[in-house]
Structure 1
Amino acid sequence: MNDIIQIGPLNLYIPLLFYIGGIILSGIIGNLVFNRKSTQSIDKKPGDVIFEYWFVFIVIWKLSYLFKHPADLIENPIAIIYFDGGILGILFGIIALLLYSIRQKRYFRISYLWQIAWWLLGIFIMLSIEQMISLIYGFSFIVVFEVIIYLGIVVIYFFNSQPLTWFQLLGASRWVAINWVLFRVLDNSAEIFIFEVMTVLAIAVITYIVEWIIDGRHKRGALRK
Structure 2
Amino acid sequence: MNVIQIGSLSIMLKWVLLGSGILIGLVVIKWWLQKTQMKEKSKKIFDTLTNSLFVLILVWKVSLILLEPKLILKSPISILYFTGGTKGLVIAILISLMYFIYKNKKIKISSKLILQTILIFSLTVLSCYHFTFLFALDENDLYHLLVGTFTLIILYFILIPKEWRF
1:1-20 paired onto structure 2 within 5 Å: 3-6=2-5, 13-20=12-19
Task: Say yes or no: does 1:104 pair with 2:101.
Answer: no
Aligned to 2:20: 21
TM-score by length of 2: 0.71
Unaligned ranges ≥5, structure 2: none
Q: Is the 8 A contact 2:52 2:99 kept in 1?
A: no
Choose between structure 1 and 2 for higher RCO, CA contacts under 8 A separated by at least 6 residues.
2
Shift of 1:97: 3.0
The alignment yields a C-alpha RMSD, in angstroms, of 3.4
Shift of 1:20: 1.5
CA distance in 1: counterparts of 2:24 and 2:153, whole angstroms: 16
Amino acid at match of 1:101: I
Q: Is the 8 A contact 2:67 2:84 kept in 1?
A: no
Aligned to 2:77: 77
Taking a change above 3 Å as real, the CA distance of residues 44 and 90 of structure 1, as seen in their structure-2 partners, is same
Taking a change above 3 Å as real, the CA distance of residues 23 and 86 of structure 1, as seen in their structure-2 partners, is closer
Aligned to 1:136: 136
Amino acid at match of 1:71: K
1:159-178 paired onto structure 2 within 5 Å: 159-160=160-161
Amino acid at match of 2:82: Y
Q: Is the 8 A contact 2:65 2:72 kept in 1?
A: yes
Taking a change above 3 Å as real, the CA distance of residues 62 and 112 of structure 1, as seen in their structure-2 partners, is farther
Shift of 1:150: 1.5
TM-score by length of 1: 0.55
Q: SS of 1:44's equivalent?
A: helix
Shift of 1:83: 3.1
Aligned residues: 160
Q: SS of 1:110's equivalent?
A: coil
Q: Which moved more, 1:146-155 or 1:42-51?
A: 42-51
Unaligned ranges ≥5, structure 1: 163-225
CA distance in 1: counterparts of 2:110 and 2:6, whole angstroms: 44
Quote the sequence identity (%).
17
Aligned to 2:58: 59
Aligned to 2:67: 68
Q: Which has the larger radius of gyration?
A: 1
Q: Is the 8 A contact 1:63 1:85 kept in 2?
A: no
